Amino acid sequence: MDFTIRPATLEDCKDISRMILELAEHEKVSDQIKITQKDLEQDGFSKNPFFQGIIAEVPEHLKSKTDHTNIGYSLYFYTYSSWKGRAVYMEDLYVMPEFRGKGIGKALMAKVAQLGLAAGCTQLNFTVLDCNKSSLDFYLKQGSWDLTSDLGYHCMRCEGEALEHLAQGDLKI
């Protein structure tokens, strides 16, 4: 399949926003999407971006059934491991359903890995839903391993009102 992987630009935010919604619909969590195209533009393309992104793009003659040439993306950012040093976190990896199984997802993931290695990272981290068996199998085939089952780690989150209380020192002990 003829496609390219390139850095995301400000102009790609409309398509990234569309694909984020497609991914959320696939995972049956679209009601949780609060991010807007404007948020993506500000957070990814300001002076101090919170994330970086790459786009999978096909030529015009191979565009999707819905007339899109941007058919996949990955968002990532750099983190730090107190045990291993520099790390890259892949927040999303998405390829439109009609383009899956053509090596695009693997190319996106490989590019994030290349960018991480170029930045001196020693690990690539990401999460995947346990119900997403095909993605889990895909990641395992790429040499990834499951920290939850192997080391017992749990991915935790604090948000909304709980985050506000925590920040105010209103701890529940």
Instruction: Return the amino acid letter for 46.
Output: S
139 is catalytic: yes
Query: Measured between alpha carbons, how far apart are the two ends of the chain, in Å?
Result: 56
> How many Cα atoms within 13 Å fall on the side-chain side of residue 116?
24
Catalytic residue (choose from 73, 76, 139, 153): 139
**Cα 166 from Cα 135, distance rounded (Å):** 34
63: which residues sit within 8 A by CB, 6+ positions away?
69
Q: Catalytic residue positions? A: 139
